[in-house]
């Protein structure tokens, strides 16, 4: 007897599910029940779907799968940050982070297993890119971090940042579909204004975000304000230089009026001088940027080239930007003791 080819039920639309149930002689409303189990209640098995009859649950299990992420390891930082390593149904590993503060609980999620961009300061950049995460896997990641937030801090996620492993704009369709599910009333129902997608700078796809009239925020990982230095640490700049990115960001803003942030990691004796600050101000004035986040560098085991500047240098850099009417803040890293801080995700366990 030929085995039934099982389909991922999370990749079926509600109309497709309704058609399936009618085809097998079931009531149409069963589709809505299953859809709610899959997306709102985050069911991991058909056995979880307690308002369906046993025979129907068995039939669904024969024809469909729910290939969710499994929690592989969880690490707890002294500052309350929680890093989770997830295992996919095909045994790949990917990390996500829950970052709590007094005002908010933020999920930092990954969009790829590994990364192809090879940024010189980022642990993930030293890994090979294995594959993109599917939109339902990204959604599962968010739901599991949300459950952690509710269990540990008694509150739902308030924000989501696509700043984990991978380049979100190189997994464009899955990232957008996951955000569609996250913001949908029959998903997590989160406001898109509470979601930020971070990119190393894929100009063509930044423009596509504008064409698609997305409603979430965009962050550019800038980290150097001239092409020579940016080429050194971010090879993607060789094909997406600063002039191209400025043009793409202006197009994105014209089409969406969504908030844009610059992310700028400060590296000792590399991009922390007054001249570097002046170059950053020049770019800031060419784009409608809402905020510049100055981020402290977090050391990674793969690379001893970079170090963080001393506190006086950081304060002088920030003060110079502020004096020149740049809206700037220092983003202190969380979870450094468990390698959960910016640039440190690398599946080390």
How far is the first Cα of the chain from the last one, in angstroms, to the nearest whole number?
Answer: 43
Q: Which of 115, 119, 122, 342 is catalytic?
A: 342
Query: What is the rounded distance in angstroms from the CA atom of residue 251 to the CA atom of residue 287?
Result: 10
Are residues 106 and 160 in contact, defined by beta-carbon separation less than 8 angstroms?
Answer: yes
Q: Which of 16, 23, 95, 115 is catalytic?
A: 95
Q: What is the DSSP track for 94-146?
A: EEEEEEE-SS-EEEE---EES-SS--TT-GGGGSPP-EEPPHHHHHHHHHHHH
Buried b (16+ CB within 10 A) or exposed e, 8-23: ebbebeeeebbebbee
DSSP structural state of residue 335: -
Let me know if 180 is a catalytic residue.
no
Let me know if 257 is a catalytic residue.
no
Contacts of 25 (CB under 8 A, 6+ apart): none
Q: What is the DSSP track for 71-107?
A: EEEEEE-TTS-EEEEEE-TTS-EEEEEEEE-SS-EEE
Q: What is the DSSP track for 3-72?
A: PPPPEEGGGS-HHHHHHHHHHTT--THHHHHHHHHHHTS--SSGGG-TTS-HHHHHHHHHHEE----EEE
Give the CA distances from residue 337 to residues 60, 81, 104, 135, 325, in Å, rounded to whole numbers and listed in that order. 44, 10, 21, 30, 34
Query: What is the rounded distance in angstroms from the CA atom of residue 114 to the CA atom of residue 124?
Result: 6
Residues labelled catalytic: 95, 342
């Amino acid at each position: 007897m030929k085995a039934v080819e099982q389909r991922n039920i999370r990749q079926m639309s509600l109309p497709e599910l309704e058609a399936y149930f009618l085809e097998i002689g079931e009531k149409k409303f069963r589709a809505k029940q299953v859809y709610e189990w899959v997306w709102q209640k985050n069911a991991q098995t058909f056995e979880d779907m307690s308002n369906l009859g046993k025979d129907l649950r068995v039939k669904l299990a024969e024809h469909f799968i729910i290939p969710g992420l499994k929690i592989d390891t969880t690490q707890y930082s002294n500052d309350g940050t929680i890093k989770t390593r997830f295992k996919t149904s095909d045994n790949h590993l990917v990390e996500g982070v829950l970052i709590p503060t007094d005002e908010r609980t933020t999920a930092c999620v990954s969009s790829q297993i590994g990364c192809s961009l090879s940024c010189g300061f980022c642990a993930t950049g030293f890994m090979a890119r294995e594959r993109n995460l599917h939109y339902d896997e990204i959604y599962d990641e968010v739901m599991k971090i949300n459950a952690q937030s509710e269990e540990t801090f008694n509150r739902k996620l308030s924000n989501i940042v696509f700043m984990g492993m991978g380049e979100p704009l190189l997994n464009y369709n899955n990232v957008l579909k996951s955000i569609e599910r996250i913001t949908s009333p029959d998903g997590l129902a989160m406001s898109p204004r509470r979601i930020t997608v971070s990119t190393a700078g894929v100009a063509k796809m930044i423009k596509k975000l504008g064409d698609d009239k997305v409603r979430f925020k965009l962050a550019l990982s800038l980290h150097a304000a001239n092409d020579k230095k940016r080429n050194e640490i971010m090879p993607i700049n060789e094909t997406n230089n600063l002039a191209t990115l400025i043009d793409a960001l202006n197009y994105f803003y014209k089409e969406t009026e969504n908030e844009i942030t610059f992310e700028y990691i400060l590296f000792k004796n590399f991009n922390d001088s007054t001249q570097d600050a002046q170059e950053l101000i020049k770019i800031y004035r060419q784009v409608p940027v809402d905020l510049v986040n100055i981020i402290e560098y977090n050391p990674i085991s793969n690379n001893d080239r970079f170090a963080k500047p001393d506190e006086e240098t950081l304060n002088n850099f920030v003060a110079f930007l502020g004096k020149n009417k740049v809206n700037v803040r220092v983003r202190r890293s969380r979870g450094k003791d468990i390698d959960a801080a910016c640039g440190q995700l690398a599946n080390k366990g």
